[in-house]
């Protein structure tokens, strides 16, 4: 397993009052490729802390990589938030896409309490989504993995203990035409968040598949952030 499973770039701003967005790219997507979306958020005045992750998380067909990746990214987010808080920055949210959405799903609540609002740009069952990618499924089958075993291996990640989410506001972006993470499969993952106090919505976008769903969500980034970021924190 690689020592570091991610890379991070900070796109700063001189405004202490600017909202900070923890931005995690989709699987197999570099920060450079997602820069159009980062640029749109920065034009709105946000500070963006962007992460890209190793493709080995799925392509190596080793389920132990995903929890380690989440752990590494989460620890780095904590450290960067602590540094920004020491500079009197107080407003933190997130924007995660596809795999990035799932990583951030495991960062909210008691894990990183400062993340009080955010966008899950697609979401659902991570194991089933992986299993719907033929090349990735083939690699896992070749190493003796089945979908039930994979779901069992990632059960704690799929159903994390959030603690309380009072005052948190989130939105899931989805499409009925997304074959990897369809809108029809999101509901079971919303209720656990709502039960512990979060306000969670769903925003459907026009798309023809998973990739176009993600791209539409990225393009609409500023609009989606406005849906969940408290108006008292509005960028000035």
pLDDT, tens digit, 9 for 90 and up, residues 2-46: 568 999 999 976 566 679 999 999 999 999 999 999 999 999 999
CA distance 209 to 180: 8
CA distance 117 to 95: 9
CB atoms within 10 A of CB 193: 21
Name the pTM for this structure.
0.94
For residues 27 and 231, is the Cβ–Cβ distance under 8 A?
no
- The stretch 187-209 carries a mean pLDDT of 96
Q: Report residue 236's pLDDT band, with 50, 70 and 90 as the boundaries.
A: very low
Q: Report residue 111's pLDDT band, with 50, 70 and 90 as the boundaries.
A: very high
Please state the φ and ψ torsions of residue 96, each to the nearest 5 degrees: -120, 140
CA distance 51 to 10: 9
- The stretch 48-65 carries a mean pLDDT of 97
Among 155, 165, 4, smallest CA distance to 71 is for 4
Tell me what pLDDT residue 4 has: 85
Query: For the chain, what are the domain ranges?
Result: 6-233
- The stretch 162-176 carries a mean pLDDT of 97
Q: In the predicted model, is pLDDT for residue 116 greater than 50?
A: yes
Lowest mean pLDDT segment, chosen from 64-73, 180-189, 226-235 = 226-235
Q: Report residue 213's pLDDT band, with 50, 70 and 90 as the boundaries.
A: very high
Tell me what pLDDT residue 113 has: 97
- DSSP notation for 37-94: HHHHHHHTT-EEEEEEE-THHHHT--TTHHHHHHHHHHHHHHHHHHHHHTTT---EEE
Q: To the nearest whole percent, how much of the chain has pLDDT over 70?
A: 94
- The stretch 116-129 carries a mean pLDDT of 97
CA distance 88 to 100: 27
CA distance 25 to 23: 7
Query: Assign residue 175 a region: left if phi > 0, alpha if psi is -120 to 50, beta otherwise?
Result: beta
Q: In the predicted model, is pLDDT for residue 210 greater than 70?
A: yes
Tell me what pLDDT residue 231 has: 75
Q: To the nearest whole percent, how much of the chain has pLDDT over 90?
A: 92
- Residues 38, 112, 108, 123, Cα dihedral to 10°: 40
Q: If you classify domain 6-233 with CATH, what class do you get? A: alpha beta
């Amino acid at each position: 397993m690689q020592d570091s499973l991610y890379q991070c770039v900070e796109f700063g701003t001189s405004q202490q009052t600017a909202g900070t967005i923890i931005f995690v790219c989709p699987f197999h997507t570099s920060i450079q490729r997602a820069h159009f979306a980062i640029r749109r958020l920065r034009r709105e005045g946000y500070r963006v802390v962007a992460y890209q992750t190793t493709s080995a998380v799925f392509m190596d067909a080793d389920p132990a990589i995903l929890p380690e990746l989440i752990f590494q990214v989460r620890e780095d987010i904590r450290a960067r938030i602590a540094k920004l808080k020491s500079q009197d920055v107080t407003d933190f949210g997130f924007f995660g896409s596809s795999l990035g959405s799932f990583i951030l799903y495991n960062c909210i609540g008691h894990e990183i309490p400062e993340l009080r609002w955010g966008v899950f740009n697609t979401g659902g069952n991570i194991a089933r989504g992986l299993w719907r990618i033929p090349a990735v499924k083939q690699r896992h089958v070749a190493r003796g993995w089945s979908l039930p075993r994979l779901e069992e291996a990632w059960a704690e990640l799929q159903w994390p203990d959030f603690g309380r989410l009072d005052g948190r506001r989130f939105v899931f972006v989805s499409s009925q035409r997304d074959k990897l993470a369809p809108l029809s499969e999101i509901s079971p993952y919303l209720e656990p968040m709502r039960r512990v106090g979060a306000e969670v919505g769903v925003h459907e976008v026009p798309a023809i598949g998973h990739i176009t769903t993600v791209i539409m969500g990225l393009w609409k980034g500023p609009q989606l952030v406005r849906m969940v970021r408290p108006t008292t924190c509005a960028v000035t």
